[in-house]
């Protein structure tokens, strides 16, 4: 007698991403499979950056995935991070070694500039003064001012996410802080 064996059912992914290519760049659109909602889009392309680039601090030409637009409808649900991971994957597939670059701007949401989001994911910039402001905002868990300048940022080949762990004194102080 033969028994039927069944393989475990694979879980359906939380996000579906559709890519539409044209001659210049690619539009990626994302939908959440749990809610059935359209959640955002990313416009990007592989780029060959020359020496003395405004993005990476290098003297040699390199390939990198350039994100021209990243627009998320509902924030703080992991959709933006999924797009950044997709950009890294596209960069690796096309000879960019996982490099990603973009321009961090507050034009879509002036109250919540995207600079902190990108910095927490490991993006860096040659604008060290602005990076220091962003790091201070992350450390103190504060918002950036609405007039923060747009800056070019890059994700290195081996990014190190910026995490801030408060010391014991700060943890105790935060317990008594008024909310």
Kindly indicate the confidence band of residue 8, based on its pLDDT and cuts at 50, 70 and 90. confident
Percent of the chain whose predicted confidence (pLDDT) is above 70 = 83
In tens, the pLDDT along 48-97 reads: 877 666 667 766 788 889 999 999 998 888 999 999 999 999 999 998 88
pLDDT higher than 90, residue 157: no
Q: Which residues of 98-117 are buried (b: 16+ CB within 10 A; e: fewer)?
A: bbbbbbbbbeeeeeebbbbb
CB 47 within 8 A of CB 65: yes
CB 42 within 8 A of CB 28: yes
Sign of CA dihedral 75, 81, 86, 91: positive
Pair of tokens at residue 167: 């010391």
Bridge-based pairing state of the strands 151-155 and 100-104: antiparallel
CA atoms lying within 13 Å on the CB side of residue 23: 0
Domains of the chain in start order, with CATH, are 43-176 (3.40.630)
β-sheet bridge partners, residue 40: 30, 72
Nearest alpha-carbon partner for 43 in 63, 75, 13, 65:
65
Residue 74 per-residue DSSP state: S
């Amino acid at each position: 007698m033969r028994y039927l064996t069944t393989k475990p059912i694979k879980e359906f992914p939380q996000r579906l991403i559709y890519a539409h290519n044209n001659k210049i760049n690619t539009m990626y659109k994302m939908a959440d499979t749990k809610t059935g909602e359209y959640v955002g889009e990313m416009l990007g392309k592989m780029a060959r950056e020359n020496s003395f680039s405004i993005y990476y601090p290098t003297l040699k030409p390199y390939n990198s995935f350039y994100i021209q637009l990243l627009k998320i409808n509902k924030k703080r649900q992991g959709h933006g991070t999924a797009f950044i991971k997709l950009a890294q994957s596209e960069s690796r597939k096309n000879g960019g070694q996982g490099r990603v670059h973009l321009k961090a701007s507050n034009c879509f949401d002036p109250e919540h500039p995207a600079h902190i989001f990108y910095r927490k994911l490991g993006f860096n910039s040659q604008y060290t003064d602005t990076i220091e402001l962003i790091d201070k905002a992350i450390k103190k868990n504060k918002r950036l001012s609405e007039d923060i300048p747009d800056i070019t940022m890059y994700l290195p080949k081996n990014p190190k996410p910026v995490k801030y762990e408060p010391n014991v004194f700060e943890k105790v102080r935060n317990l008594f802080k008024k909310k």
